[in-house]
Structure 1
Amino acid sequence: MQGKQSESRASPQVKSIFSPARGFFWAARTRILLWYLLTIGFIFVVSIPAFRQVLYERVNQRVNRELTEKMEIFTQLIDAETEASDREDEEVTAAVNLLKQADIRLTKPPATEDELEEFFDAFLGRQLSEDDTFLIAIVDGKFRKSSPRARPKVLAADSELIQYWGKLTQPEQGEKEFPTEPNIDSVLYTAKPVWIDGEIVGVFVVAHTTAGERAEVVEAVLAIVQVSAVVLILALLIAWVASRGVLAPLRLILQTTRKISESDLNQRIFVEGKGELAELATTFNEMMDRLQAAFTSQQEFINDAGHELRTPIAIVRGHLELMGDNPEEIRETLALVLDELDRMSRFVNDMILLAKAERPDFLRWETVELQSFTEELFAKAQALAQRNWQFDTTAQGQTIADRQRLTQAVMNLIQNAIQHTKENDTIGVGSAISKSRISFWVRDTGEGIALVDQKRIFERFARAANSRRRSEGAGLGLSIVQAIVEAHGGRVLLKSDIGAGARFTIVIPLMRSPQKKSHAERVG
């Protein structure tokens, strides 16, 4: 009772989640787009800072390259020992000409502090620096001049950075961070001390504030983010529309499944195109074919098994209820009851055998001598009934098989032949080897089997419609034959015409190795 209550409480929730096809596909499309959004978002979150950092590094490299070029010009000028006409560098030549116009001699480096100040004044007075680039001259540890004159606070004459540069004794290139200063960010610089008579008289510095370039980088990154956001929204809309077509086969599968659960097992999905979803639809249809066949077989089995068991039970019950006190009547009733119980026992044993045929240990392999085996089968057959028995031929050699199961299969064919023949009819038994196959056959001259029945007599509980007599079994004999033969990796062939008898042939592979026994064992 408790289980039923819990089931009833759970069912509304289950229906609300899984029943509506529209809700299911809405959720599926939403999850797809959500994962798509998370993936693209993660890429943006990782790539945007990386992109900004790359731009920062490229700006720093370009600025450092420009600073180095400026310092090289200064170095060549301050260390000049030849006339400008001997120089190949155009920028150096132009700088030298400007200094000539200021009456500064370049035949040798500045020899005094006054000459160095004159050199700095003339050099910086005629230099046009780029934006945010500052050429700074420091003489005797104090600020002398800069180009341009307007400088940020961190480059003021009394700033800590100027004092730091004034104390340098070796060339230096680096970067100083100023996170608290507005519109500065950091300063990239290269500095070179100037020596006169073994003493440092001054320092020349080329500095560059990075706030402008980095502001441009941030602006470019923001533009990229804005464009990417628009593209992402458009991509999501397109993906939302496209996902409907992509998920269409799944929608058909769900709709078909709902129809099957409500009506029958005949519904199938129309497969169109190729790809994984089309293959899924094809696989679903194949699965439904197997389920329908299994369901039909199960229903037929239940009906036939119930019929086969109901009849002997009714016979036993009826005779026991009518049984009197007469000893003779009691003996007859007991004999009849035991016969019906034996028939039910055979039926149950046959069903157990068919169930075992699916197990990997169904067969027990051994070496079988074909000639003696065939002769043994024929001897057993002769003892079953009065017929015109004929021993056709026998195979010579050996094979690896389950001797008992093969005997059971051939004897079932012989029993079937006996049931459909008369005393003066002929039944032949034989075996032969052809290439890599061995054949056992049972033929008769009985009533024969119609073509329409040949396709179904190997099914469980099946009997020929044109048979003149009622089979003693439950219609499982040929099913058992087929199960045994297929377990050996073979097949059963039938050739028959109405009034011309029938020929059943068992064909199995010859000399099968123990490692390659049967399909059932390979699966196991």
Structure 2
Amino acid sequence: MTTGTTMMMTMTMTMGTMTTTMTESRPERASSSEPSRQREESPSATSTGRPDRDPRRWGGRGSRVPARWRIAAWIVLTTGITLATVLLIMRSLLISDVQTAANAAIQQEAEEFTTFADVGVDPATGQPFTSLDGMLETYLERQHPDQGEVLIGVGESVWHSDNARLRTVDGEPYLLGEDAGTLRRIIDAPGSGGVLDTEHGQLRWGKLDVSTDAGAGMFVVGEFVRPHMEANDRILRMTALVAIGGLLLTAGISYLVAGRILAPVRAIGRAASEISETDLSVRVPVRTRDDLGELAQSFNSMLDRIENAYTTQRRFIDDASHELRTPITVIRGHLELLGEDPGERAATLAVVDRELGRMSRLVTDLLMLAKAERPDFLHKEDTDLAELMLHVESTIQALDDRPWLLMEVAEGRARVDPQRLTQALLQYAANAVQYSPEGAPVRFGSTLVEDGDRHLLRLWLADNGPGISEEDMPRVFERFNRAVSPTEHQHGVGLGLSIVRAIADAHDGQAWVESAFGQGATFGIDLPVDLLPTPEEAGTTEMETDGGANPYRAALRGLREGRR
């Protein structure tokens, strides 16, 4: 038997690619810690700015939808587009898999039939087939077609083995072998394979010409893809439902996450709306260390600067208005009663001159305290601490004709403001002159104290004055506070020690006092310093550093020799 078989099939596949201080505590010492002050409330001012500068009148641009909703919407939209793309690609891949599987099944059946035609024998005779219809009937009886698969043999008769699971809409099985019209279209079609659209869906088919000594015929293999497409559609519908559920879950999670992320921004908005002209104490809580946490911290720092500037201006105005009221009243009263008597006029002018001088000193001190809040208050430079104290000693002698005893001198170099430190010690000395007995000695000095891994420069001055009572010590560095014995004649307005505290604070240090009432007082300031190399350590001589003989160094050597 000679059998010729030829079969051609076309396969198409579409592939798609789918694309997180140490605080030094000194016993029995009053420090310069700023006490808490209650802010004075004043009636809120009415804005007189230009209407177009009023933020409430700004129309603004862009969407009025809250940022939280916009973020959630963009996330949901992006996720939805991604899921839709995945479903489309998945559908394309499933369709391609069905078509590929159908073509492979057709080719497999054709190869099996070809093998059977070459080696098969008639079960009745045990010899090769002599009848084409007998060979087709025997082969088809032995086949069990898969779902949607059709096997048909065309000889003198039409033999078919259709899968009865392929049913019509009314539930009756469909047999392609009994559909003469469709079968004729396949037989008459050119080529050995193709795709045919039928009322039962797409049919992918292949045919094989069979010729024997007993006659010629045809073997037809068909694959209805509708059952496989229906299974794919169920998979796609289930996947789509899961995707919709995931999209809704994503919407809820993105809304909550966006709310948590934007919480610092909303807190900043609430803080900004709560700030008024009389209350700048509102701050934004900082709970994270990310970009929004840094934004909240920067906003709080800005509020700190604004509050400090406002407090400084308000304190200056309050202090000036409070303290200037008395001298102005005195001057006005004397001028109103000024007569024609020359002696009376001279006395009045003396009083006016004294009060004007007091006003001038008051304004100067208040301006000094106001300037202490500015970053340019200090002018630090590399300073020889021993020379600083010797300079203070030479300057302090001019305050009063009494013994000024320099007890100790710190040696070393550090970056400080020598003028401000001299001013602080001179203020301590002026207080000692004012409140201690005439001719009483005053001791002072400087020393370096180790405090953990740093050094403290301690400047101190001790007098033999009346001392300070225990209840007055916490307030001794406050403005306009004069903590002296009631029997003492009070001078000044009580700003000197406040200026000392401002100088200490500007150096990140602390002003302090130790005293027992009636036994004098010791005032001092402690400043954290980083010691610099001395000229000897830097490899330069004293002459090279100072450009010649240094009188302060010579005085220091004389002081050491005298102590020996």
CA apart distance, 1:128: 3.3
TM-score for both structures, normalised by structure 1:
0.64
- Of 503, 507, 515, the residue aligned with 2:522 is 503
- The answer on whether the counterparts of 1:388 and 1:423 sit within 8 Å (CA) in structure 2 is no
**Partner residue, 2:468:** 449
- The answer on whether the counterparts of 2:98 and 2:229 sit within 8 Å (CA) in structure 1 is no
**Partner residue, 2:420:** 405
**Partner residue, 1:129:** 145
- The answer on whether the counterparts of 2:404 and 2:443 sit within 8 Å (CA) in structure 1 is yes
**Partner residue, 1:50:** 86
The amino acid of 1:68's aligned partner reads A
- The answer on whether the counterparts of 1:447 and 1:467 sit within 8 Å (CA) in structure 2 is no
**Partner residue, 2:191:** 167
Q: Give 1 or 2: higher helix fraction.
A: 1
Question: Does 1:304 pair with 2:353?
Answer: no
Gap change, CA 1:417 and 1:203, over 3 Å in 2: farther
2:147 partner SS: coil
2:471 partner SS: helix
Q: Residue by residue, what CA displacement relative to the aligned partner does 1:65-122 show, whole Å, maximum 9, x if unpaired? A: 4652553353144146986xxxxxxxxxxxx6xx744879669xx9xxx95x875565
Counterparts of 1:154 and 1:314, CA distance in 2: 127
Show the 5 A alignment for 1:277-292: none
The amino acid of 1:74's aligned partner reads A
Gap change, CA 1:455 and 1:105, over 3 Å in 2: farther
- The answer on whether the counterparts of 1:138 and 1:144 sit within 8 Å (CA) in structure 2 is yes
The amino acid of 2:483's aligned partner reads A
Please tell me the root mean square deviation across aligned C-alpha atoms, in Å: 5.7
Q: Which has the higher mean CA deviation after the structures are superposed, 375-384 or 355-364?
A: 355-364
**Partner residue, 2:333:** 318
Show the 5 A alignment for 1:244-283: none
Gap change, CA 1:102 and 1:449, over 3 Å in 2: farther
Question: Does 1:458 pair with 2:474?
Answer: no
Percent identical:
28
- The answer on whether the counterparts of 2:467 and 2:484 sit within 8 Å (CA) in structure 1 is no
CA apart distance, 1:429: 1.4
Counterparts of 1:481 and 1:262, CA distance in 2: 30
CA apart distance, 1:445: 1.8
- Of 332, 352, 372, the residue aligned with 2:387 is 372
Gap change, CA 1:249 and 1:40, over 3 Å in 2: closer
Q: Residue by residue, what CA displacement relative to the aligned partner does 1:143-168 show, whole Å, maximum 9, x if unpaired? A: 98765342899992454x7666x325
- The answer on whether the counterparts of 2:106 and 2:222 sit within 8 Å (CA) in structure 1 is no
1:445 partner SS: coil
- Of 52, 61, 67, the residue aligned with 2:97 is 61
CA apart distance, 1:430: 0.9
**Partner residue, 1:418:** 433
CA apart distance, 1:367: 3.0
1:128 partner SS: coil
- The answer on whether the counterparts of 1:444 and 1:502 sit within 8 Å (CA) in structure 2 is yes
Show the 5 A alignment for 1:424-443: 424-435=439-450, 436-443=455-462
Gap change, CA 1:343 and 1:469, over 3 Å in 2: same
Instruction: Give the number of equivalent residue pairs.
Output: 454
**Partner residue, 1:78:** 114
Counterparts of 1:102 and 1:49, CA distance in 2: 59
Counterparts of 2:196 and 2:347, CA distance in 1: 117
Gap change, CA 1:337 and 1:64, over 3 Å in 2: same
The amino acid of 1:320's aligned partner reads L
Structure 2: gaps of 5 or more residues: 1-45, 60-64, 163-174, 534-564
Structure 1: gaps of 5 or more residues: 15-26, 84-95, 515-524
CA apart distance, 1:441: 0.8
Q: Residue by residue, what CA displacement relative to the aligned partner does 1:351-378 show, whole Å, maximum 9, x if unpaired? A: 3333333433332233323333212212
1:507 partner SS: strand
Gap change, CA 1:475 and 1:163, over 3 Å in 2: farther
Gap change, CA 1:242 and 1:359, over 3 Å in 2: closer
Counterparts of 1:391 and 1:342, CA distance in 2: 32
**Partner residue, 1:150:** 176
CA apart distance, 1:442: 1.0
1:455 partner SS: helix
- Of 487, 494, 501, the residue aligned with 1:475 is 494
CA apart distance, 1:423: 1.2
Gap change, CA 1:424 and 1:150, over 3 Å in 2: same
Show the 5 A alignment for 1:87-98: none
The amino acid of 1:359's aligned partner reads R
- The answer on whether the counterparts of 2:412 and 2:532 sit within 8 Å (CA) in structure 1 is no
